[in-house]
Chains A and B, each alone.
Chain A
Amino acid sequence: MDKQTNNQYLLRIWGRAATLVLVSGLLAACATAGSKDPTPEDLAKLVERTINAGDEAARRGDFERALTHYLRALETEESLDVWFRVGAASSQVGRSQGALLAYSKVLETDPLHAQAHEGSGLEHLALGDVEAAREHLSTTIALDPDRWRSHNALGILADQTGDYAAAMRHYEAALAINPKSPMLLNNIGYSRYLSGDLDQAARDFYNVTRLYPDYEAAWTNLGIVYAQRRWYLDAVGILARVMDKAKAYNDVGYIAYRKGDLAEAERLLAEAVRVSPTYYLDANRNLEQVRARLQGGPRNAAILQMPTGPSPTLAEAAAGDEG
């Protein structure tokens, strides 16, 4: 992120905060007209109440309100703890730049702040800045080996570089810290999928679905693995548990097409069109393309609509939904 962008972002944040402070000051002036200036104890109490209100909002999942409270607290007192909370809340509402700025403020004050490094690493990973992410996450692990999200993120980075053994080590380390995380189990299966061990990947995804039947990513990944094994009807059966049947047929049909099984692809896509209660645009386009291929037409796979593919649950990893 360049410096000019950061400054613009900070100006926007600070402008909003100044407006809030101004409005609050006017209201306070009206309410305390004629009273004396607050003491430091009063301010400390005010900051504490504001932070508590933000935490309360964050626990309710209202991260926007939580961010507002944290920013008010920051107006009163710029502390490392408040900056960290601003970073976390910004991450939750998808304001990666703000989160990175907040984390950088924390790290300016405390360069050994493991959580800030972790948050910064996850945000960089979400933004695609792999090197920065790896640096922050590695620092995090170095500072605090028990940061399971950092292990998870490092595992994802290792998968991206094809170092599946390292990825597996990170996932296992994370799993040792947080053994009940379906995300970690799912990511382990994904890593095995990437490494080509489809049987073990299927077992991993299946185990996740056994432990957490509502965990859709595992069902999806399991269905994709089945489709990659050309077990198309089994794949449809799996995918239909977490998506409508027409989409399941369409996605599996797409994979069949990519694998060269044109007849199967046509059958699956035609079934997707048939079972869809409404006009299924993607399935119809895919079906036309497959039929054109079957009739000797030119290969133009790009026209096909990309279905949902197997993927690690990065968003969940970044969100830190498991504490």
Chain B
Amino acid sequence: MRADTATSPAPRGPSWPARFRRRRLAVAVTVGVALLTAIAATRLVEPSYRAVARLALDGKTLSVDQDVANASAHVATELQARHERVLVAARQASAISPRQSERVQTRVTDVAVDPVSERGVPLLSASFEVSIDAADAREASQATTLLLDLYLEDDERAHSAPPVPPAELVAVRAEASRLASLLAGSQAELADLEREHGPLGSMDDPGGQLTALANQARTLAAQIDDLQARRVELDRGLRDMQRGASEYRSNPGMPLTSEALSALQAQWTVLRTRNGSDAATVRELGAMIEGLQATADAKFGAAAAELATAVAEYARLEQVYPLDHPDVVRQAHTVSALESRLESLRVRGLTSGDRAYVEGLARERSQIDGRLEVLRERRESLSLQIAEQQAQATRAPEIRQRRAELQREYAELLAAQQTALEQQQLLEARFDAVLEQRPGRIATPSPLEVHRVLMSRPDVILALGLIAGVVAAFLTVAVRERVDARISGTESIRRMQGHLPLAEIPRIRTA
């Protein structure tokens, strides 16, 4: 490689280091060419005028789902939408030509946010410019004025007409309404079926329903049996308690015993519970019992007095005779007999607790017939239900199928309605957001301005100028390197001699 290098030197011409070395020249040529190109374009291109209208947007609100941090973007979107509507209106009205419409420009110059306004929502304010370039200043002014009018009309229209719900929302509303109507019809049909054939739940398991009704009937029958048994028991108990009372009443000469008095009192209590205290029989029996008790008390008192006398006599005899004397023994037996007689004359009737108990039994006995009547009616009703259930069990498959169809239809309608309602809810929310959102009012705080535009399309001109400048700078540097014979650096030596120098004095930077 080294031999090749030595035998074939590299061609002459400017290298990149050389170009870098002449950078000042290149920049100067580039800038100069670009400036010359711009000046030439300005002089050569046809002069144009720009009409600028400054507009203000006040009171625009943000919806809840819009971020205040992106206020400029929201304003730009809003203004872009308005601008497009205005341009459409302008084209429709042939107010501006298509060429003019291409030269219309908008620019947002300022955006201000009031995060906590009096209305409680963030309020946006913006300033923007609308400009039209034209060769004639008058033409630009007229077109811009026309656009301003269209801006104001659009703003007026936006605030005068209520927001129109989107078509999708209208369609969803109609669908939801239709489904609701169908659902009501299906529900009514199910209700009719249930009204006609009884509870639809009973169709699911008619055998089970029958078993349940039969169980209820058995329970009812058991309750009736229990009540009847209780009635018999009560009748027997009350009869036992009153045993002897009627016999005594028919034969009042019989000696009154505790049993007889208790029986009479029990009978009186039962009669009073059954017929009330004012019934003649009750009053008559009560008076009889009081008389009997008075007589018994008198007899008891006399016997008690007799016993007291006998006891005194016994005490006397005991003092006179030994205890085994016949008179003492006889008197002891007399006292004992009198004591027994006194005890037999002691007529004890029912206590208050006993009377309450008898009264409770009699009341229960009175109520038991009513309860039996109710239970029997329920049993008859249950028998009818069982018969009806049995008839339904026969028709159950057909009715069940019909009901299943209705239920399926109902479920489908319900699901569709649910979906429609969800969609409607979503769209309504969006529409509500739109309703809540205020686009703001357009105002023209300053008059229209028309001024001449020095450079039409300066970006293009500057770009072309720069390209021409760079080309000119490249060519200039190449020419200078070609004509310059001075050695400058090891590269110059290698190009001239074909190989590198033997040594190189380093450049030492000193302080």
Contacts and interface: CB of A to CB of B under 8 A. Distances in A.
A206 B330 contact: no
A226 B326 CA distance: 8
A199 B327 contact: yes
A234 B327 contact: no
Contact of B330 (A202, A205, A222): A202
A14 interface: no
A225 B324 CA distance: 14
B280 to A, nearest CB: 46
Contacts of A202: 326, 329-330
B333 A229 contact: yes
Interface residues of B, number: 7
A231 B327 contact: no
Size category of the binding interface on chain A: 10 to 19
A202 B330 CA distance: 10
Interface in A215-257: 222, 225-226, 229, 231, 234
**Chain A's interface: helix, strand, loop or mixed, by majority?**
helix
Interface string B358-382: 0000000000000000000000000
Contacts of B329: 202, 226, 231, 234
B325 interface: yes
A259 interface: no
Contacts, number: 24
Contact of B333 (A203, A205, A231): A231
Nearest to B337: A230
Contacts of A231: 329-330, 333
B247 to A, nearest CB: 25
Contacts of A205: 326
Interface in B296-339: 324-327, 329-330, 333
Nearest to B336: A231
Nearest to A222: B326
Contact of B325 (A206, A225, A229): A206
Contact of B327 (A203, A222, A229): A203
B402 to A, nearest CB: 81
Contacts of A225: 326
A229 B334 CA distance: 11
A226 B333 CA distance: 11
B84 to A, nearest CB: 130
B321 to A, nearest CB: 9
B337 to A, nearest CB: 10
B329 to A, nearest CB: 6
Nearest to B325: A206
Contacts of A226: 326, 329
Interface of B: 324-327, 329-330, 333
Interface of A: 199, 202-203, 205-206, 222, 225-226, 229, 231, 234
Closest 9 CB pairs of A and B: A202-B326, A206-B326, A203-B326, A234-B329, A231-B333, A206-B325, A199-B330, A231-B329, A199-B326
11 contacts: A199-B326, A199-B330, A202-B329, A202-B330, A206-B326, A225-B326, A226-B329, A229-B330, A229-B333, A231-B329, A234-B329
